[in-house]
């Protein structure tokens, strides 16, 4: 499945601001995601970045003018053929032209000639960004359905700091994918756990596992892209979309406290974290020295609070578990599905090549309490996340299962 940009024709407009250099990386990332990128540079943009650079990285040579193309109406052809138009950076001038319908170059003419979704990424100095004229133009564009990625705050070209800084290329590509993503999870609140818990042996050492949190964060990115309000409780911090709330914890007990206090407000709970089954009993609050000899390590089971969530699940709530197994994968996953009263479980053979902990790819089987099973072959973890969220929506739409049935 891959990126939502794969196979899409994206027109990348670049305007005359110092942040134009970031558009080079935006172009590269979009091409890497499988998009067919057509760069359109304004005359101002070419004072900051070279057309040769974009022509080398993009899918087609740079378009620069209404008059240097063999096509007599290049703006119409570009606008009609685009699946998405992204303008990054978008200067105050271009925003004004777009809002007022003025077309004095190839980019602004194409913006008026397209019916594709448009994402503008404003970047300018703080005083310009906060000017009433700029804000009114943005309100007009938003009212017409244009997607706006607000700038970040930070160090600006003049050396001072404030709002107006172009977001990172990663954030821009992420926003572009979101525009192309169906908003079928809008209005839902989703809680996701990620990473491997760490249980102390002493003040320095811990018992942990190999979970990297990559699959959990991929699930968060997918749910957020589809319009959900997402909370993540994790043992590791990784890059995540704007608006996703991340709470960092370490132990199974800390994760329990963070999760249980949030579940009542959630429509979907995805337990992707690898939570420890055992912890050291009464670990000392100091480092055990090597010359003290080998310590006697006494383990005790952690509380399986995921069972509590299944038993107290409210009507309409969907709970998804993960089963990281090395043998009898499906049998163990099915047993866990029943024992924990889950709606779905994702069976994950962590011994398989390229799957499981630490990898960027995964292969799973999604099993529902209604008896449906979907095999998801080896793919990147975002694609696996998409399959899981698709299954969540199917589960939400289904008639509740009689859980008293064996």
Q: Which residues are annotated as catalytic?
A: 209
Torsion (CA) 250, 253, 258, 259 in degrees, nearest 10: 110
Please provide the DSSP assignment of 260-284 as one string. HTTGGG-SEEEE-SB--SEEESS--
Spatial separation of the C-alpha atoms in residues 25 and 29, rounded to whole Å: 6
Contact present, 31 and 52 (Cβ < 8 Å): no
Euclidean distance between CA atoms 92 and 133, whole angstroms = 9
Which residue's structure tokens are 């040769």?
52
Long-range contacts of 139-144 (CB under 8 A, 24+ apart): 140/99, 141/95, 141/98, 141/99
Three-state SS at 345: strand
Rounded to whole angstroms, the Cα distance separating 224 from 175 reads 11
Residues 6+ apart with CB under 8 A from 33: 2, 3, 5, 6, 173, 177
Distance in angstroms (rounded) separating the CA atoms of residues 82 and 96: 22
For the chain, counts of helices (H) and of strands (E): 13, 19
Q: At what angle are helices 214-225 and 381-397 packed, to 10 degrees?
A: 60
Which residues, other chains included, contact 105 with Cβ-Cβ below 8 Å and sequence gap of 6+?
Answer: 42, 43, 65, 66
Residues 6+ apart with CB under 8 A from 22: 88, 89, 166, 168, 169, 172
- Region for 30 from its dihedrals, namely left if φ exceeds 0, alpha if ψ lies in -120 to 50, beta otherwise: alpha
Give Cα 47 to chain centroid, integer Å. 34
Q: How far is CA 176 from CA 11, 51, 245, 285, in A?
A: 11, 22, 21, 49
- With contact defined as beta carbons under 8 Å apart, do 349 and 322 qualify? no
């Amino acid at each position: 499945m891959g990126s939502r940009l794969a196979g899409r024709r994206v027109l990348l407009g670049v305007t005359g601001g110092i942040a134009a250099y970031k558009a080079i990386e935006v172009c590269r990332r979009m091409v890497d995601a499988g998009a067919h990128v057509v760069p359109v540079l304004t005359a101002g943009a070419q004072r900051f970045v070279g057309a040769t650079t974009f022509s080398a990285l993009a899918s087609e040579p740079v378009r620069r003018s209404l008059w240097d193309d063999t096509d007599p109406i290049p703006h119409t052809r570009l606008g009609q053929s685009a699946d998405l138009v992204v303008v990054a950076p978008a200067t105050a001038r271009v925003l004004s032209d777009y809002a007022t319908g003025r077309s004095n170059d190839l980019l602004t003419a194409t913006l008026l000639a397209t019916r594709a979704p448009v994402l503008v990424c404003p970047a300018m100095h703080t005083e310009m960004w906060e000017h009433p004229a700029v804000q009114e133009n943005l309100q007009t564009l938003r009212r017409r359905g244009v997607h706006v990625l607000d700038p970040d705050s930070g160090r600006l070209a003049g050396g001072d700091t404030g709002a107006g800084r172009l977001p990172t290329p990663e954030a821009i590509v992420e926003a572009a994918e979101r525009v192309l993503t169906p908003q079928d999870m809008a209005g839902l609140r989703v809680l996701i756990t990620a990473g491997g818990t760490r249980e102390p042996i002493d003040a320095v050492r811990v018992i942990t596992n190999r979970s990297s949190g990559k699959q959990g964060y991929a699930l968060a990115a997918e749910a957020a892209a589809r319009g959900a309000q997402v909370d993540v409780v994790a043992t590791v911090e990784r890059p995540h979309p704007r608006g996703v709330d991340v709470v960092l914890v370490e132990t199974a007990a800390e994760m329990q406290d963070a999760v249980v206090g949030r579940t009542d407000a959630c429509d979907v709970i995805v337990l992707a974290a690898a939570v420890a089954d055992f912890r050291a009993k009464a670990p000392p609050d100091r480092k055990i020295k090597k010359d003290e000899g080998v310590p006697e390590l006494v383990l005790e089971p952690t509380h399986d609070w995921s069972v509590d969530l299944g038993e107290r699940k409210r009507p309409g709530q969907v709970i998804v578990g993960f089963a990281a197994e090395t043998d009898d994968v499906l049998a163990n996953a099915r047993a866990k599905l029943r024992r924990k009263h889950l709606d779905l479980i994702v069976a994950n053979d962590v011994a398989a090549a390229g799957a499981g902990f630490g990898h960027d790819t995964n292969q799973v089987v999604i099993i529902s309490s209604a008896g449906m099973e979907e095999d998801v072959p080896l793919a990147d973890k975002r694609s696996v996340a998409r399959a899981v969220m698709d299954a969540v929506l199917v589960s939400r739409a289904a008639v509740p299962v009689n859980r008293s049935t064996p």
